[in-house]
Structure 1
């Protein structure tokens, strides 16, 4: 008897292996087992699976009708019957069987997913939505989903992606897996892919709130604030008191320039949940933007009181450029920075904050040690490639020649509204913006992402990025449409109805060729600063995102040299189009340079531009405090305190000025 059972077990194991590789042979093996052991239920179940794998769904249904299957778990059998009916196109029967399965086993993830698919085929969107949501709740029982979740938690991105893509190839409507893959895409900053995946999940299950919340975040990260707000309002209608959704609401409104409303919402959220350090930190950011410096400091202090190792909150205090840490602050930060369980993000933020603290106390060697350590950590997290940037610069120079622009002729939107301020970060662009925004006809906005977003959308005939060569293929109508699109996309940031507005995205110097084609009457101002002063200022600044070159002295120097070479090229091929403003000259002769700026922009001189520091408008950059004060010369040569450690920067800059 024991031998017979052992032989049967061996035969069934062989049958399972065959099923994965050769369904036809598996069916033959099942038939052989059934000859020896008539009505063997496991052989019947596996034979049905082999028939399904061969596309013979009706045969599988007949096999599964065998009375002997009553000896097996009814959930197992009914689910197999449901699969067979679903594959055969018997939607009504499949739904009936699946309803029995989930009644017997309410946390059966695959049954809920398949039920959602069948409801979708039947056109029952409400039923599908409910089934898919049950599937999400039950997904913790799905082995593959849990494997992917574990890999994602451990930051094994390639392994998680392989599991999820393989799983979705077999089960394309698994919304839990779709959302997880979107999270993975967002983690590596492939936000457009994440957006598409989350839209797919919400198309299948509109009440999938976790996916909608993720979509809000992804849209916000792409600066699609209007779209993010639209999705968030759906969540807020369902949960008006939800602290997380209200926090997101405030962050989006702040991005849109609705600062007062954002501050009001933050106050309400923190009244309800006062023990949330990251919300206090976000509140601090918004207060700082609004010029409420004292309140911003208090908010950041609340954050570090609640979570002393929260590096970003300490760095936010340091980033209040006029703030000075106490000895107690420094001791606490040093203690937290040496914790063995500290995340890399907290550690690098603490390093930048400590760099600023020791710089302020004139302990320059210790300061540089912390700045260098923080930059090294941040650089290790990035895949920035300086060679790639240089190659792109060379391609721009080779493509966007004087003949190229002459051959293009007129075109684009003739609106004179935009004033672009380009250059490197920390080169004085915020000062120029503040001066111009103090004029009665000019509105300051922010570092707008729209030019980069529009350039990223330009593709060749095969759908691949092809910039800048693709610019030659744009006809007059397309260039005009792109110019009008930029004006439409940026209109939401123009609150005051003034005729001119500023886009101070510094990296737009790479897109001057595109700007010249689509907005021929726009003004372009190049904010320039001494390379060593600018380079070191970048090195000691931790940027939220988007400035990957700034975490290595050599990378900074190479980026600066590439920028200077490219701007010199544009001076030749677009003569007179760009105004260069040297920061040091503005500090030495404010009025002369203000008059020069306004004349270039075609604006009459106004005294208010000399009193730019009295302008209480919203300022979002690291210089937000400094531009609320009169110009001072103290910072011009600050880099010289660190000169002996800056040789890699000097060498990489070379002769660029």
Structure 2
């Protein structure tokens, strides 16, 4: 870029500003050729002026001359590396071209150059959301809102980042601020339906889903969220109609039919079966993630139709594709479990007996996924002294906030570096998350299955907490995991041998905690629970120190939503048809049975195709 010329006297400045205003009108009207001609005339008079070169670059992009336009913008930044508006515009254009890594780099530079420039923070936050780097996105979006609270999309992006990181109440708050900006935004109502669903506020979620549909009847996401909300509250027929409507909308067939297939039993004349078959004809044209959804949905449908061999083939293909998208490292996870068991010993419990946060008594319902945690929590939610929390990321957040404790867990610090204060802070951070989500009762259920790994440390951090560890027959539980599309949330489920090892580690964890903390840990058999609900419920309530209430046996009457894969099952009376369900797939389970070894009986091994 040549040394820029610029207007110097007031009259010249006024003339140029008037011309720029006219150019802006041309651009707003889509008359980019006229705008370009006017810019050419100004650049002849003031060659190399950065503002004019900048505008000409943008104008060329609008004319379809992207390469030439970007070259001019690069000249502007080369001349002045701290030209924040040029940096943001280049980043925006790169993002529009799909070059997100390059775009994020420009936005990051813009933020560093101008820390108080709202648009730079907003665009960097948005780019990080696209990259699924939600934790880094949130502070930039927060900063953008603090600098300029009136931009709708920033609130929407913040809500998505909060949803993805488990900060459901923060997402709701952000969306209500967005609603104040534009009460007629269908996008805000759609996102509110989703956030309130995750926050388990049933009536409000349904209201906003229906309002979104009023504003945009063809908004497929609104119909999906309406269906999710209705299903979670037990209104299955209405939910099916909502999913069916979604499936008829552009681009929503796969998601709508998939939700239908997982909501109810597929029959030969079900619309979802017909729809899935049509989609299967073009399966090879689908990207991997939607292909996974299709394969699992076809598996569920084939299972309902009694074609178990074909069903297993679909499940296997869905898991194979998922594994390529989200690899799993068995050795890392085994080492973590072994380390936690080695860390939490009787000596550690004695040394830190006075640590922890008292006055809060959460009920951790944990185990492997698909082991009855949802059923157990639904039963407890009917007790008047229990507030149901659902699958809370509170433990994960508390550990993330506790660097010294993590250093000990990861053997970067010696065991004796752990202090009472570290453990107490863990409890305080856990409680802070609960309070942020509006969970303030003494007894709050947290049914995140993976908390079973950390029961010993959580027992020190929360001395009044109790732990219900759900157990299910390994073949039933692990096969149920294999047949469930967890996506990136549980990549261990994509391989039968990995699942077997995860069960072995869980089994050791459960035995370790039960022996170490007999007054704090109670194991519950899923099979016993469905066979004798009252007897098991009485034992559980006695262990928890809660009075007997017969309402816990009527878990289907619970008004709280269920946001996990078990939604259809827990809205039915307690039943035992899922016990020994693995047998329909026995011929395909030899790798799982072999890996489980002596955890199975001789008859079970034979049923899985192994020698006696």
| Aligned equivalent of 2:464 | 521
The yes-or-no answer on 1:456 pairing with 2:400 is yes
- C-alpha contact (below 8 Å) 1:457/1:465 kept by paired residues: no
Measured at CA, do residues 237 and 171 of structure 1 come closer, stay the same or move farther in structure 2, by a change above 3 Å?
closer
Residue 330 of structure 1: how far off its partner (Å): 2.1
Question: Superposed, which structure 2 residues align to 1:373-392 within 5 Å?
Answer: 373-392=317-336
Residue 655 of structure 1: how far off its partner (Å): 3.7
| Aligned equivalent of 1:150 | 97
The yes-or-no answer on 1:337 pairing with 2:308 is no
- C-alpha contact (below 8 Å) 1:322/1:625 kept by paired residues: no
- C-alpha contact (below 8 Å) 1:526/1:581 kept by paired residues: yes
Secondary structure of the structure 1 residue equivalent to 2:467: strand
Secondary structure of the structure 2 residue equivalent to 1:422: strand
Q: How far apart in 2 are the matches of 1:215 and 1:310?
A: 28
Q: How far apart in 2 are the matches of 1:232 and 1:619?
A: 22
| Equivalent of residue 235 in structure 2, options 273, 292, 303 | 292
Choose 422-431 or 477-486, whichever is displaced more: 477-486
| Aligned equivalent of 2:105 | 165
| Equivalent of residue 234 in structure 1, options 157, 169, 177 | 177
| Equivalent of residue 558 in structure 1, options 501, 512, 524 | 501
The yes-or-no answer on 1:77 pairing with 2:52 is no
Q: How far apart in 1 are the matches of 2:539 and 2:563?
A: 25
- C-alpha contact (below 8 Å) 1:416/1:500 kept by paired residues: yes
Secondary structure of the structure 1 residue equivalent to 2:286: coil
Question: Superposed, which structure 2 residues align to 1:15-164 within 5 Å?
Answer: 42=2, 73=44, 76-79=47-50, 139=89, 142=90, 146-147=93-94, 149-152=96-99, 160-161=100-101, 164=104
Q: How far apart in 2 are the matches of 1:321 and 1:520?
A: 42
Secondary structure of the structure 2 residue equivalent to 1:524: strand
Measured at CA, do residues 109 and 628 of structure 1 come closer, stay the same or move farther in structure 2, by a change above 3 Å?
same
Question: Superposed, which structure 2 residues align to 1:354-503 within 5 Å?
Answer: 354-460=298-404, 467=409, 473=417, 475-491=419-435, 499-503=442-446
Residue 322 of structure 1: how far off its partner (Å): 4.8
- C-alpha contact (below 8 Å) 1:416/1:523 kept by paired residues: no
Question: Superposed, which structure 2 residues align to 1:321-332 within 5 Å?
Answer: 321-322=264-265, 324=267, 326=269, 329-332=272-275
Residue 118 of structure 1: how far off its partner (Å): 9.3
Secondary structure of the structure 1 residue equivalent to 2:358: coil
RMSD between aligned alpha carbons?
3.5
Q: How far apart in 2 are the matches of 1:368 and 1:103?
A: 59
Measured at CA, do residues 429 and 45 of structure 1 come closer, stay the same or move farther in structure 2, by a change above 3 Å?
same
Question: Superposed, which structure 2 residues align to 1:507-546 within 5 Å?
Answer: 507-543=450-486, 546=489
Secondary structure of the structure 1 residue equivalent to 2:522: strand
Residue 111 of structure 1: how far off its partner (Å): 11
| Equivalent of residue 186 in structure 2, options 239, 243, 264 | 243
| Aligned equivalent of 1:654 | 597
Question: Superposed, which structure 2 residues align to 1:265-276 within 5 Å?
Answer: 265-276=208-219
Q: How far apart in 1 are the matches of 2:437 and 2:119?
A: 36
Residue 385 of structure 1: how far off its partner (Å): 1.5
Choose 324-333 or 526-535, whichever is displaced more: 324-333
Measured at CA, do residues 334 and 198 of structure 1 come closer, stay the same or move farther in structure 2, by a change above 3 Å?
same
Residue 382 of structure 1: how far off its partner (Å): 0.5
Question: Superposed, which structure 2 residues align to 1:171-320 within 5 Å?
Answer: 172=112, 173=114, 182-183=125-126, 185-187=128-130, 189-202=132-145, 206-307=149-250, 310-320=253-263
Residue 633 of structure 1: how far off its partner (Å): 2.0
Choose 1 or 2 for highest CA Rg: 1
- C-alpha contact (below 8 Å) 2:308/2:585 kept by paired residues: yes
Secondary structure of the structure 1 residue equivalent to 2:383: coil
Residue 492 of structure 1: how far off its partner (Å): 5.7
The superposition leaves residues 346-392 of structure 1 with CA deviations (integer Å, 9 ceiling, x where unpaired) of 22112111111111111111111111111212221103212111111
TM-score (norm 2): 0.80
Q: How far apart in 1 are the matches of 2:251 and 2:507?
A: 42
| Aligned equivalent of 1:125 | none
Measured at CA, do residues 71 and 283 of structure 1 come closer, stay the same or move farther in structure 2, by a change above 3 Å?
closer
Choose 217-226 or 174-183, whichever is displaced more: 174-183
Measured at CA, do residues 232 and 588 of structure 1 come closer, stay the same or move farther in structure 2, by a change above 3 Å?
closer
| Aligned equivalent of 1:89 | none
Structure 2: segments with no counterpart, 5+ residues: 6-40, 60-71, 601-612
The yes-or-no answer on 1:569 pairing with 2:512 is yes
Residue 546 of structure 1: how far off its partner (Å): 2.1
